[in-house]
């Protein structure tokens, strides 16, 4: 069994070698999807340590970039264990990181988990304007729109995107879920989303309930 605290520590310390070794051993041991999701959470907690050390001035932007790459690498290793994907498509999601925000690690984790659960995900990328969301929504006509943001300023972008969705007459045709560290129940109400989460696995469950 993998030691989740150790995984968190390796991410926090940016110890690539140790992290990759334990994750590869873990995936080889044929873990359940639930166990793999616990390891994703452990990695996420390691990123919180990285963030704290950055705030304290012990880590620099270069360390953040490295942390981002490290987590992407970790997710690639964990992907087969998170879910093999299903052949039945259960719904569609237009997903993106909102305007002004370049963080995409969390968005990508959510995307991978949604695909594994059977959703077709149209990922429009980072720093996406309300207009880009609207263009894609008109093209795809998805069941769900997912917006990701890690910066405080992302919250205003989420609000603006939903406002423009309303103005375009599209708001009632989709469910909107927001995710990322700064989102809360109050934020969800403020921006006018239908749901929020800081946990990708929970986000997938919410989306599954919506398309049932």
Residues forming contacts to ligand B12 in the complex (CB under 6 A) are 44, 47-48, 50-51, 54-55, 61, 64-65, 67-68, 100-107, 109-110, 146-148, 150-152, 177-182, 197-200, 203
Q: How far apart are alpha carbons 119 and 122 in whole angstroms?
A: 10
Q: What is the nearest approach in angstroms of ligand B12 to the Cβ of residue 93?
A: 8
Would the CA dihedral through 83, 188, 140, 157 be positive or negative?
A: negative
Q: What is the nearest approach in angstroms of ligand B12 to the Cβ of residue 45?
A: 9
Residues 6+ apart with CB under 8 A from 132: 96, 124
For the CA atoms of 138, 91, 85, 38, the dihedral, rounded to the nearest 10 degrees, stands at 100
Q: What is the nearest approach in angstroms of ligand B12 to the Cβ of residue 71?
A: 6
Q: Are 177 and 208 in contact (CB under 8 A)?
A: no
Nearest CB to ligand B12, comparing residues 26 and 104? 104
Nearest CB to ligand B12, comparing residues 151 and 163? 151
Nearest CB to ligand B12, comparing residues 147 and 187? 147
Q: What is the nearest approach in angstroms of ligand B12 to the Cβ of residue 171?
A: 16
Q: What is the nearest approach in angstroms of ligand B12 to the Cβ of residue 207?
A: 7
Nearest CB to ligand B12, comparing residues 87 and 137? 137
How is residue 25 written in tokens? 């051993």
Say how many C-beta atoms besides its own lie within 10 A of residue 32's C-beta.
9
Q: What is the nearest approach in angstroms of ligand B12 to the Cβ of residue 126?
A: 8
Question: What does residue 182 show for φ and ψ, rounded to 5 degrees?
Answer: -80, 0
Nearest CB to ligand B12, comparing residues 71 and 87? 71
Nearest CB to ligand B12, comparing residues 69 and 87? 69
Question: DSSP labels for 49-89?
Answer: HHHHHHHTTSS-HHHHHHHHHHHHHHHHHHHHHH----SS-
């Amino acid at each position: 069994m993998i030691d989740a605290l150790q995984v968190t520590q390796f991410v926090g310390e940016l110890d690539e070698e140790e992290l990759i070794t334990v994750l590869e051993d873990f995936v080889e041991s044929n873990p359940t999807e639930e166990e793999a999701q616990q390891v994703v959470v452990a990695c996420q907690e390691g990123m919180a340590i990285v963030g704290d050390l950055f705030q304290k001035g012990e880590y620099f932007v270069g360390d953040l970039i490295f942390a981002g790459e490290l987590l992407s690498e970790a997710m690639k290793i964990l992907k087969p264990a998170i879910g093999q994907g299903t052949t039945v498509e259960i719904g569609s999601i237009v997903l993106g990181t909102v305007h002004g925000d370049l963080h995409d690690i969390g968005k990508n984790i959510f995307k991978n988990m949604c695909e594994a659960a059977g959703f077709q995900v149209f990922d429009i990328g980072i720093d996406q304007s309300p207009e880009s969301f609207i263009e894609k929504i008109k093209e795809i006509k998805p069941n769900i729109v997912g917006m990701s943001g890690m910066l405080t300023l992302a919250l205003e972008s989420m609000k603006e995107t939903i406002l423009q969705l309303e103005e375009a007459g599209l708001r009632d045709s989709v469910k909107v879920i927001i995710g990322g560290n700064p989102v809360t129940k109050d934020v969800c109400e403020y921006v006018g989303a239908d749901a929020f989460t800081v946990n990708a696995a929970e986000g997938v469950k919410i989306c599954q309930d919506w398309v049932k």
